[in-house]
Chains A and B, each alone.
Chain A
Amino acid sequence: MTLRLPDPAPYAFTVVSEVERRSIPLTFRQVSAADGEWLRSVWKDMVNAAKKAHQLTGTPVPKWLNWQPWQWCFEKALVEAGRVPIMAWADAHPVGFLTVWPAAGDAAALYVEHVGATPGDMTTGLWNRRYHKVGWSLFAYAIHVSRENGLGGRVGLHAETAAIRRSVYGKYEAAVPGLFRPDATGIAGPTPYGPQKNATLAYLETTDDGAGQFLEGFRHV
């Protein structure tokens, strides 16, 4: 199945500028070779700077600094297997990153492999984040992609830790009770490494109704 990335309308997936208190609509596009420079020369350098600062201050390196999207987006075997890397942009700068796969689980669902903000949107010892609510809008856009590709808005994902399950997806669920089906385990997902790494993690999948309600919260027109 080839995914089509729809325009956001009639929804607006936005982030909120920390400094300007302004809500900025995101645009989305599949990562292309031209975007590689943002990943290799900006994202990677910021990661290296933040990592070095942790090393120099003797503080633990957070796990997000081990992400390597400059590789993940262009791994031929995985892209051919189905991974679709997407970047979200605000004011001509990348602010968010998603990798999705066309189907997962028993019911066809869009599988979300990664949801991430760019390093400039993370608070570190060197800088403060620029935008808020990146995760909410990326998740909502994934639902929109699922709907527009005939997957009913169903989105599946693995919660890497109990804290992420509670603090992140729990919040979405608090906004829309019934957003997810009961958590499951033993579901590997579509990635080649899923059977080794994901089978013991909690697998979440949105319900059709819950996904629809979540998306409606972003309706702009």
Chain B
Amino acid sequence: MSEPAISGFVPKWFRDRPLDAADDLPVAYGTIPDQDPRVVTRLVPKDHGYTLPARTVSRVIDLKQDLALHAARDVADGYNPNFTDLSSLPKALREAAQLAVAPADTGSYVIPASLPARTAALDPDAVLARYAELLAAVNDARQAATVSIGALQVCRELGRLLKREVETIEVTTYDRENAPRPMAVFTPESVTRLDRLLDGRRTTTREFEKVTGRLEALDVGKNEFQLKVDGVKGRVKGTAAFFTITSLRESLGGTVTLEGEVVRERRAVTMTAYRVVEGDDDR
């Protein structure tokens, strides 16, 4: 059966053309320009509640800001497992990591916020990528080893709200093209885990090592690398914790120096690398 006729003026190109061609793409063509990266927190009130106390909402915003500062500090200065004191951060860093809260969205209580545009000192995308890592660490023991005590304390504070008015806290970070990273969900189990993590954390100073070797493999999906190091049988397998592993792409096949925690067990050597050492670096 033929399609019913279309009334009104029909431009030449539409005549004899089916309205709903199977290969039609959604009409949305064009490059997505970079936006300030965002972090969106969604609070689900307990017992199917519809409202939340004002102080709870303001507390969540405060903690969200604190965690952004911890992420910014890690990005700017590298990992320091004992760091807690946000008031010691330089003013420029605090300003560069100042969240701007956007109008609340619908869907329970949704608080979107974004970081300001890139400055010479700080890449906001890297900060929110780190923010996502800090949140992921709550549910991943291996990642938790790369989170400072201060950041863990902020996460625990956030989790404490679950004991009172909030059922679940969901946090999603978005990159510069507004694509979401995996969502972090805080539940009562997360709080238990955080308590355990903090109890187990000793405030000792860790010694990091620099390891130089030939970069023989990269797994961008798993965030892992393999180094061939003189004097070590087999490859040193490692994980990148505070830098983007794709930054090593150009070094593949070449010699790199990485700094981080090195674990030697029997013949195997593994590493959690916190930074790439460039040039004659004596830090």
A-to-B contact residues, CB < 8 Å:
12-14, 16, 18, 20-25, 40, 44-45, 48, 52, 61-64, 66-68, 71-72, 78, 96, 99, 112-117, 121-123, 132-138, 140, 157-160, 163-164, 167-168, 175, 191, 193, 197-198, 201, 214, 216-218, 220
Contacts and interface: CB of A to CB of B under 8 A. Distances in A.
B34 A193 contact: yes
Contacts of B30: 99, 112-116, 157-158, 160
19 contacts: A14-B8, A14-B9, A22-B6, A22-B7, A23-B10, A48-B105, A52-B107, A63-B32, A64-B28, A67-B28, A78-B33, A113-B31, A114-B28, A114-B30, A116-B27, A121-B27, A136-B13, A163-B25, A214-B13
B85 interface: no
Given A23-B7, A68-B178, A136 B31 contact: no
Contacts of A12: 9, 11
B169 to A, nearest CB: 16
Chain B contact residues: over half helix, strand or loop, or mixed?
Answer: loop
Nearest to B15: A217
B205 to A, nearest CB: 41
Contact of A21 (B6, B12, B34, B179): B6
Nearest to A158: B31
B102 to A, nearest CB: 10
Contacts, number: 130
Contact of A22 (B3, B8, B26, B107): B8
Contacts of A116: 27-30
Contacts of A71: 35
A48 B31 contact: no
Nearest to A71: B35
Contact of A117 (B27, B32, B105, B107): B27
A220 B9 contact: yes
B5 interface: yes
Given A16-B14, A201-B31, 9 more contacts: A20-B7, A22-B7, A23-B6, A48-B105, A48-B106, A113-B31, A133-B11, A138-B27, A160-B31
Given A66-B32, A191-B33, A23 B9 contact: yes
